[in-house]
Amino acid sequence: MKIGIAADHGGFELKEQLIAYLKPMGYEIEDFGAYKLDTSDDYPDFIVPLAQAVAAGKLSRGIAVCGSGVGASVAANKIAGARAALITEHFSAHQGVEDDDLNIICLGGRITGYVAAQELVLAFLRAEFSGADRHQRRLEKVRVLEKENLN
């Protein structure tokens, strides 16, 4: 599975740790930065290109990290086709994929510990969209909203 990962300074350390954790498992990872710790960087500069790549189908899934995970979620969801959520517990990590076809997990580098982040990311990456009619119907309503608000 090819995945992307991006973080600003608030998520830089967790991003680096997740890359080191996931690569030996066979995940192909595209790093969208930040490539160094710079406290003056801005999360949209890294999160938006990640979300665009996921929405375009160039990546199977994305991992977005900022200090709290909130800004990463807000920025990613501005991209049509990106379905991002701040995840803080195991159930939503897999249920978001299974029911809502979540394609970007957002984490808080200042609030999510390494072991918890590993567990959340694995639950997210291993989950599959159910494709159930009710979930397809709901996603179609989201797609319509995205098309209506492209201006």
- Each of the 151 residues of the chain gets a pLDDT tens digit; together they read 999 999 999 999 999 999 999 999 999 999 999 999 999 999 999 999 999 999 999 999 999 999 999 999 999 999 999 999 999 999 999 999 999 999 999 999 999 999 999 999 999 999 999 999 999 999 999 999 888 877 5
Beta carbons of 66 and 38 less than 8 angstroms apart: no
Coil, strand or helix at 98: helix
> Residue 85 in 3-state DSSP?
strand
Nearest Cα to 128, choosing from 92, 90, 89, 97? 97
Looking at the chain, which runs of residues are DSSP E strands?
A: 2-7, 28-31, 61-66, 84-86, 104-108
